[in-house]
Structure 1
Amino acid sequence: MGIRSIFSKPLARWVRQRQQPWREQPGEAQQRWLHHLVSRAKNTQFSRDHHFADIQTVADFRQAVPIRDYELLKPYVERVVHGEPDILWPGKPAYFAKTSGTTSGTKYIPLTKESLPNHINSARDALLCYIDETGKSAFLDQKLIFLSGSPELEQKAGIYTGRLSGIVNHHVPAYLRSNQLPSYETNTIDDWETKLDRIIDETIDQPMSLISGIPPWVQMYFDRIQARTGKAIKDVFPQFSLFVYGGVNFEPYRARLFESIGKRIDSIETYPASEGFIAYQDSQEAKGLLLLVDSGIFFEFIPAEQYFSENPSRLTVDEVELGVNYAVVINNNAGLWGYSLGDTVKFVSRNPHRIVVTGRIKHFISAFGEHVIGEEVEKALQYAMQQQPGTEVIEFTVAPMVSPTEGLPYHEWLIEFAQPPTDAARFAHDLNSHLAKLNVYYDDLMQGNILRPLVMTPLPRGAFQQYMKAQGKLGGQNKVPRLSNDRALADGLLAVMR
């Protein structure tokens, strides 16, 4: 047993012991964080605009700070991006996490010196909880791979800016750097397929024990290794024993990924976001992810059915109920106030508070982390129709094709035309190019050869009507989702038409 695995066990025990107070009394931990956040931000512009000096209770805070998504908080963020200090949080951020945009393009999420431990320590503690529960630590003595974005950073107003995974890569603990793969040079390669080949060159003959990444990226890594070797992953990496994942819904990938591995191994699910590390799987036995109530974030939860109402309920961790779908709102030590993540969760335990991620408050596609939203696909379709004015569309939906029989994954657009375009190939090209302009991350995935351009599947007249009738949902109150994060609707449509 190596030195890392030996010393990790007492560290793991210490971390779990330090967690006990907030696991048992999450409400008290959250109250402390609310008071700390409000007090720490007292000299910021946001504090002055929202009368933080008068806030004494949770009710005061709810009255003073409205719920906002990125678009509504953007006027403050733009001032930070332009270099103004003391706007959302004292001073300036240490980093901006550059993430996928909505209708406004790229988002810049501030990360501060105070908020970085939430990202760094939470990832570490997920592993330590696993070690403490299972006693398994030998994986730390072998090679570990973190499939992530490039660690190369640019600057905006003197503030380092990049993808969250690339930023976090700069803060991997020193004791793990010596056995971390891939190399920094390989990690900075922009083209994903080129990068993937280099990663395989560096790892294929190494004793890999832990592999971490977004599931579709990991699957592509496995596919490429199997194509090169003709072997199952367990035979290429006999010591591979732990898979760490997060970022997208794992279920579409689970069966194929474990089939590629060729054996059952332990896994740890995490719930990181650019805005904050929300939760992680702290037990191989218990269902759900441990909500991190003592990590720089004051949480609020809005019942999903109330989210779009004028005055929705805003609940603390002490007020939530099991099995209810909630939209997640965070207030954190990076200066995000009343910030709606857009994610929905359900609590599966209140002792301690554990959650499962149930989706987004709006329809979306993020099978690869692209976060394509309804407004973007509708604008892309409108643009393509304008290029061929005679085109008429009855109905459409978009779904991901995660595991095609050949080639790269893609988005499939299933469209029922009243009048088809005169040039179908050009129409599909216009759809794809305009969507890439509207959504930066979708464009990044294609530029990096992770996705190929969309595939358009014309459907015969009456296709959607027949599908809705078959589902017992034919009627004006039942709308076809523009976007799905799985293929249930798409495959159902295709099955009806066979």
Structure 2
Amino acid sequence: MSIKSIAAKIAAQIIFKQTQAWASQPVASQERVLKDLLKQAKHTQFGKDHHFEQIKTAADFARLVPIRDYEDLKPYIDRVVDGEKDILWKGKPLYFAKTSGTTSGAKYIPLTKASMPYHIKAARNAILHYIHETNKADFVDGKMIFLQGSPILEQKNGIQFGRLSGIVAHFVPKYLQKNRLPSLKTNCIEDWETKIDAIVAETYQQDMTVISGIPSWVQMYFERLEQKTGQRVGQLFENFNLFIYGGVNYEPYRAKFENLIGRRVDSIELFPASEGFFAYQDSQKQKGMLLLLDAGIFYEFIKSDEFYTNNPKRYTIGEVALGINYVLIVSTNAGLWGYNIGDTVAFTTLSPYRVVVSGRIKHYISAFGEHVIGKEVESALQEATLGTQIRINEFTVAPQITPATGLPYHQWYIEFEQEPQDLEAFALALDSAMRKQNMYYNDLIVGNILKKVVVTKVVQNGFQQYMKAIGKLGGQNKIPRLSNNRDIVDLLNTK
């Protein structure tokens, strides 16, 4: 056992005990966070506008600080981007994480001196929890790859900005630098396909032990490795036994990954975003990710089926329940207040508080009142393929409201790695699974309002072609599982 792996095990014990301390006092931990956030920001423009000095409780906060999304907060953010200080958080941010916007164009999410360390700590602590639980630490001696955006940063009024993963790349601890791939030169390549080929060239002869990234883009890396070497990933990298991912649910990709690797490997799920690092998988035995209650973020939760009602109730951590989908609202030490990040979560355990990402509040299908969410389509697809040889690369679902003939329906666009022998039987199994997942959808089928799902096959690499066509190939970009319109599916190449 190396000195590095021994040190990792000692660090894992320390972090585990620290985590236990705040996780065992969830309500008190969140009260401390809210109190500190208000204290730090009470003299900012936002703090003055919203009477932070009067706020003593979470109820006061909910009364005085309305829920906002980026568009609502944009007047304040624009002032920060213009170089003003003490607007949302004291001073100026260290960075802006630039993300794709909707009606606003590019979005600039502030990252401050207070918030930035938590992005690094959370990723580190996820790995240390894995080491503590499994006692596996030998992987720290091998090479690790993090598929991420370019670390090249631009400047706006004296503040650097770029992709979150590119910003984080500048904070990789020194003890990981020698083990980390790809090289800076390769990481700076903007074109994703060129970058993947360069990463393959740099890594295929290395002792890779940890691979990290969004599953859809890691899959592309694995496929290119196999094309170059004629070997499965698990043969090429004999010591590769840990996959770290975030951004999307891994389960729809699992069968394809195990085929590409040739065996099952352990995995750690992360829940990072430009707005904050919210949770990570702390156990291989328990479902869900540990919600980080002591990391400069105050959480509120709104039931997703009440979100669009007038003045929906905002629940704090001590008020949530199992089995309910909540819209996640955050207030952070980067200066986001009552901020709707767009994700919905469901709790899997309440001691400690663990969550799964169940979907996006704006990514759903409710063309007929069914309100189907991402978690439901992913679970239905998992059930329909269970025990079969069917393997799926990527998929998305959209409603067909005005078919040429017959009843409307949900249309599943699927890129198969291994197609079903009987597509119609597969569609029936998928529809049956969906009816179990969503009672409103079942009612629409029973009531003869909708006909059963229609499965449309997408050409090989069809989703990659789509992402390339819209300029979002690679990085942190991902295909929405659901749309309430046909803007995406009408651009896909189908068989």
TM-score by length of 1: 0.78
Q: Contact 1:327–1:343 at 8 Å: present in 2 too?
A: yes
Cα distance change of structure 1 residues 246 and 196 upon mapping to structure 2, 3 Å threshold: same
How far 1:490 sits from its partner (Å)?
13
Separation in structure 1 between the aligned mates of residue 159 and residue 491 of structure 2, nearest angstrom = 43
Amino acid corresponding to residue 31 of structure 2 in structure 1: Q
Aligned residue in 2 for 1:481: 484
d(CA) in 2 for partners of 1:252, 1:24: 33
Q: Which letter does structure 2 place at the counterpart of 1:42?
A: K
Using the alignment, how far apart are the partners of 2:354 and 2:78 within structure 1?
34
Q: What's 2:33 paired with?
A: 33
Separation of aligned partners in 2, 1:206 and 1:483 = 43
Counterpart in 1 of 2:347? 347
What is the distance in 2 between the residues matched to 1:312 and 1:229? 55
Deviations 1:225-258 (A, max 9, x none): 1111111111100010100000123233221012
Q: Is this contact kept in 2: 1:143–1:208, CA < 8 A?
A: yes
Conserved? CA contact 2:397–2:412, under 8 Å:
no
CA contact (8 A) 2:345 2:359 kept: yes
- Give the secondary structure class of the aligned counterpart of 1:103: coil
In structure 1, the partner of 2:463 is 409
Q: 1:202 to 1:408 in 2, by over 3 A?
A: farther
1:75 Cα deviation (Å)?
A: 0.6
Secondary structure at the counterpart of residue 238 of structure 1: coil
Checking the alignment, whether the CA contact within 8 Å between 1:397 and 1:482 is kept in structure 2 is no
Aligned to 1:55: 55
C-alpha displacement of 1:4: 1.6
Deviation of the 1:402 alpha carbon: 7.9
One-letter amino acid of the structure 1 residue matched with residue 463 of structure 2: P
- Equivalent residue, structure 1, for 2:237: 237
8 Å Cα contact 1:398-1:482 kept in structure 2: no
Match of 2:289 in 1: 289
Is residue 199 of structure 1 aligned with residue 199 of structure 2? yes
Distance 2:71 2:78 in 1: 11
Partner of 2:333: 333
Name the structure 1 match of 2:221.
Answer: 221
- Counterpart AA for 2:171: H
1:142 corresponds to 2:146: no
4+ runs deviating over 4 angstroms: 364-367, 394-405
Unaligned stretches of 5+ residues in structure 2: 366-373, 379-395, 399-407, 418-457
Q: Distance in 2 between matches of 1:402 and 1:276?
A: 34
248 and 451 in structure 1: CA distance in 2 versus 1, 3 angstrom threshold: closer
Q: CA deviation at 1:409?
A: 2.4
Q: Secondary structure at the match of 1:346?
A: strand
Q: What is the distance in 2 between the residues matched to 1:92 and 1:287?
A: 39
**CA RMSD in angstroms, aligned pairs only:** 3.1
Structure 1 regions of 5+ residues with no counterpart? 375-393, 413-431, 437-441, 453-478
Tell me the secondary structure at the aligned position of residue 354 of structure 2.
strand
Offset, 1:395: 10
Q: Does 1:186 align with 2:173?
A: no
Judging changes above 3 Å, is the alpha-carbon distance between structure 1 residues 178 and 364 closer, same or farther for their aligned structure 2 residues? farther
Deviation at 1:399, TM superposition (A): 5.1
Cα contact 1:322–1:346 (8 A) shared by 2: yes
**1:301–1:326 CA contact under 8 A, matched in 2:** yes
Q: Per the alignment, do residues 127 and 402 of structure 1 end up closer, same or farther by CA in structure 2, a change over 3 Å counting?
A: farther
Match of 1:271 in 2: 271
C-alpha spacing 1:208/1:109, structure 2 compared with 1 (3 Å): same
The structural deviation recorded for 1:87 is 0.3
Deviations 1:247-289 (A, max 9, x none): 1232332210121010011000111111001111000001111
Residue aligned with 2:238, SS: coil
**Residues 363 and 483 of structure 2 are in contact (CA less than 8 Å); yes or no, is this contact kept in structure 1?**
no
Tell me the residue number matched to 2:389.
none
Q: Secondary structure at the match of 2:317?
A: coil
Identity %: 53
Secondary structure of the structure 1 residue equivalent to 2:210: strand
Supply the distance in 2 between the matched residues of 1:350 and 1:234 (Cα, whole angstroms): 36
The letter of the residue matching 1:208 is M
SS of the counterpart of 2:313? coil
Partner of 2:451: none
In the alignment, the residues of structure 2 paired with residue 480 and residue 163 of structure 1 have an alpha-carbon distance, to the nearest angstrom, of 25
1:340 positional shift: 0.4
Contact persistence 2:464–2:473 (CA under 8 A): no
* Contact preservation (8 Å) 1:398, 1:484: no
CA contact (8 A) 1:152 1:188 kept: yes
Q: How many Å separate the matches in 1 of 2:410 and 2:47?
A: 45
**Which letter maps to 2:485?**
R
C-alpha distance in 2, partners of 1:267/1:82? 41
Maintained 8 Å contact 2:364/2:483: no
How far 1:445 moved relative to its partner? Answer: 2.2
Q: Which amino acid aligns with 1:326?
A: Y
| Compared CA separation, residues 242 and 480, structure 1 to 2 (3 A) | closer
Aligned-partner SS, 1:331: strand
Alignment partner, residue 444 of structure 1? 472
Whether the aligned pair in 2 keeps the contact of 1:397 and 1:481 (CA below 8 Å) is: no
SS in 1 for 2:298: strand
Query: Deviations 1:43-99 (Å, cap 9, x if unpaired)?
Result: 100011001111111111111100001110111001000100000000000000011
In the alignment, what sits opposite 1:247? 247
- Measure how far apart 1:100 and its partner are: 1.7
| SS of equivalent residue, structure 1 residue 145 | strand
CA contact (8 A) 1:400 1:410 kept: no
Q: Pick closer, same or farther for the CA change 1:402–1:15 going to 2, 3 Å.
A: farther
Q: How do 1:458-469 and structure 2 match up within 5 A?
A: none
Amino acid at match of 1:254: R
Amino acid in the other structure paired with 2:460? E
Residues in 2 aligned to 1:336 and 1:48: alpha-carbon distance in whole angstroms: 15
2:103 maps to 103
- Secondary structure in 1 matching 2:359: strand
SS at match of 2:72: helix
Q: Distance in 1 between matches of 2:487 and 2:127?
A: 32
Aligned to 1:260: 260
Q: Secondary structure at the match of 2:334?
A: coil
Instruction: Give the CA deviation at 1:400.
Output: 6.9
Distance 1:402 1:157, change over 3 A: farther
Cα gap change, 1:2 to 1:216, in 2 (>3 Å): same
What is the CA deviation profile of residues 379-420 of structure 1, one whole-angstrom value per residue up to 9, with x for unaligned ones?
xxxxxxxxxxxxxxx9997957486653452488xxxxxxxx
Q: Distance in 2 between matches of 1:176 and 1:109?
A: 27
1:300-330 Cα distance to aligned partner (Å, 9 max, x none): 0001111011111101110000111100000
> 1:2: Cα distance to partner?
2.0
Q: Give 3-state SS (helix, strand or coil) of 1:101's partner.
A: coil
Q: 2 CA distance for matches of 1:411 and 1:152? A: 25
> 1:9-36: per-residue Cα shift (whole Å, max 9, x none)?
1100000101112111110000000000
- After superposition, the C-alpha distances for 1:347-398 in whole angstroms (9 at most, x for unaligned) are 111100001110011226999xxxx999xxxxxxxxxxxxxxxxxxx99979
Measure, in 1, the Cα distance between the counterparts of 2:334 and 2:290: 21
- Alpha-carbon distance between aligned partners in 2 of 1:220 and 1:364, rounded to the nearest angstrom: 27
Distance in 1 (alpha carbons) for counterparts of 2:465 and 2:143:
34
